[in-house]
């Protein structure tokens, strides 16, 4: 018997709108910075490897923050955590606009990543908690669509603004708009009743996790700037092993890894997130450099092409949410993941003479696959999690998503460093750059397709 859909209340619509706009700023600036990095590098005289570090450090900050933000939200409340994240994001945007050198921009992007992940974790938790169960997939897909819209318009808006007034104005604009969003969230989002006992933060575990990720990331990506940094890689692996052991044996862990064993389908769904995001999150810098330095487009026109992927993500995300509510969400997310892998492999056909429409077509296919993956996977993965564990599960899911992006950017930076050293991308070095890009795309495409079976495994656990 078909159920009659009830109209959303005005209060719920306002909450969804506030969460939607809150989810817009960080992806807008992430894709926008990727589009204007060639302009920033030209202005500050930075090589390609250092430009890649801007993206790597942003994802590193996100990974560390997602590891801790679930527990912080449990301690201080989800709404307070969200407001603090938005406020810090605005503040760091101002500092980015005033930065005099790349050595200042890189740590500031790390700090921005920390704030962005805090926002993402809080928004995800509130989307699941505040949405009625019968339309949860639709609400999540609407909120997630803001991420794709931000990713879509970021390159175009930031590229156009850079051409008109310079790259620094991008960060000042974001800071001003963020203050408006801060006021909106403060007045619209209701206070959340704390579930269970008040939690505490294990400072030793937090330090081990953060320092371990930092050492692994720097050891893997900065080798081409200074060989001695490579020693940080095994040290980081050892520290992370100590972190996992401490978390597993702790009675009150920051990341409840035992939750993976308690909730059916949770490990498979989260592994699929890590693999899928790890296969395409790092591609934005590649194609920003490809379009501007190889094909000769300016920042605005490159932004128009780069927005194709995210526009298709934005359009298909609500469609995928409705399909996830009607059918198995795992089937929808698996089909999206497979399309992502095939699209990444198709991008290997690009060369110095490729037409712009070929780039746009491949970007559109990648965006379609990503749109069909994200919201259904989130609904399936978090749908079985008990309410009292949602903050921790959301933080763990976000941590794996951003760690996938971090791995993607690490691989990208290593391939650029391996093929190009400390050279900049110019028409003279475009052939070497294309070799690095093709080998990276092959690795990412195969990696993505290998993860499809994990998404299929989650089918048997979905309720």
The contacts of residue 242 (CB under 8 Å, 6+ apart) are 208, 212
For the residues of 219-271, what is the DSSP string, one character each? HHHSTTT-GGGGGHHHHHHHHHHHHHHHHHH-SS-SS-TTHHHHSTTHHHHHH
Q: Centre a 10 Å sphere on the Cβ of residue 84 and count the other Cβ atoms it contains.
A: 17
- Give the model confidence (pLDDT) of 66-92 as tens digits: 777 767 777 777 788 888 888 999 899
Q: What does each of the 463 residues of the chain score in pLDDT, given as a tens digit?
A: 334 444 556 777 777 888 888 888 888 888 788 878 888 887 887 776 777 788 888 878 887 887 777 677 777 777 888 888 889 998 998 998 888 888 888 889 999 988 988 888 788 777 777 766 666 667 777 887 787 778 778 888 888 888 888 889 889 988 888 888 888 888 887 776 655 455 666 778 888 888 888 888 877 776 655 666 677 888 888 988 888 888 788 777 777 777 776 776 677 778 888 888 888 777 777 787 788 878 878 777 877 887 788 788 778 877 887 777 777 777 888 888 888 888 888 888 888 888 888 888 888 888 888 888 877 877 777 766 766 666 667 767 777 777 787 788 778 777 877 777 767 777 777 788 888 888 888 888 888 887 777 777 766 555 5
CA distance between the termini of the chain: 19
Give the model confidence (pLDDT) of 422-442 as tens digits. Answer: 677 777 777 888 888 888 888
Entry pTM? 0.71
**What is the DSSP-derived secondary structure letter of residue 23?**
T
Residue 295 DSSP one-character state: S
């Amino acid at each position: 018997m078909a159920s009659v859909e009830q109209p959303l209340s005005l209060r719920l619509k306002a909450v969804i709108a506030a969460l939607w706009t809150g989810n817009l700023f960080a992806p807008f600036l992430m894709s926008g910075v990727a589009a204007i990095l060639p302009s920033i590098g030209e202005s500050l005289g930075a090589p390609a490897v250092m430009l890649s570090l801007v993206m790597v450090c942003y994802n590193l900050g996100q990974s560390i923050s997602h590891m801790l933000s679930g527990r912080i939200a449990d301690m201080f409340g989800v709404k307070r955590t969200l407001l603090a994240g938005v406020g810090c994001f605005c503040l760091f945007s101002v500092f980015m606009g005033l930065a005099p050198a790349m050595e200042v921009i890189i740590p500031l992007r790390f700090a921005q990543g920390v704030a962005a992940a805090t926002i993402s974790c809080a928004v995800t938790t509130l989307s699941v908690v505040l949405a009625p169960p019968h339309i949860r997939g639709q609400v999540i897909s609407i909120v997630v669509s803001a991420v794709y819209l931000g990713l879509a318009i970021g390159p175009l808006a930031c590229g156009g603004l850079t051409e008109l007034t310079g790259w620094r104005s991008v960060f000042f604009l974001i800071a001003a708009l963020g203050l408006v969003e801060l006021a909106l969230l403060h007045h619209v989002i209701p206070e959340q009743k704390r579930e269970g006992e008040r939690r505490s933060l294990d400072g030793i575990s937090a330090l081990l996790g953060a320092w371990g990720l930092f050492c692994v990331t720097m050891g893997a990506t900065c080798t081409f700037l200074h060989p001695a940094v490579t020693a940080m890689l095994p040290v980081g692996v050892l520290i992370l092993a100590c972190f996992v052991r401490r978390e597993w044996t702790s009675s009150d862990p920051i990341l409840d890894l035992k939750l993976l064993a308690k909730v059916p389908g949770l490990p498979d769904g989260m592994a699929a997130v890590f693999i899928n995001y790890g296969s395409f999150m790092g591609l934005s810098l590649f194609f920003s450099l490809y379009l501007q330095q190889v094909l000769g487009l300016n920042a605005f026109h490159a932004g128009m092409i780069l927005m194709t992927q995210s526009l298709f993500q934005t359009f298909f995300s609500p469609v995928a949410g409705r399909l996830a509510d009607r059918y198995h969400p795992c089937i929808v997310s698996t089909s999206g993941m497979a399309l992502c892998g095939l699209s990444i492999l198709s991008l290997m056909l690009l060369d110095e003479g490729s037409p712009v429409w070929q780039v746009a077509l491949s970007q559109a296919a990648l965006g379609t696959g990503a749109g069909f993956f994200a919201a259904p996977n989130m609904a399936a993965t978090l749908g079985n999690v008990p309410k009292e564990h949602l903050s921790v599960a959301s933080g763990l899911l976000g941590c794996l998503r951003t760690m996938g992006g971090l791995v993607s950017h690490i691989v990208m930076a290593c391939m650029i460093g391996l093929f190009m050293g400390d050279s900049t991308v110019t028409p003279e070095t475009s052939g070497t750059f294309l070799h690095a890009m093709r080998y990276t795309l092959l690795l990412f495409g195969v990696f993505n397709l290998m993860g499809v079976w994990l998404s299929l495994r989650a089918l048997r656990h979905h309720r």
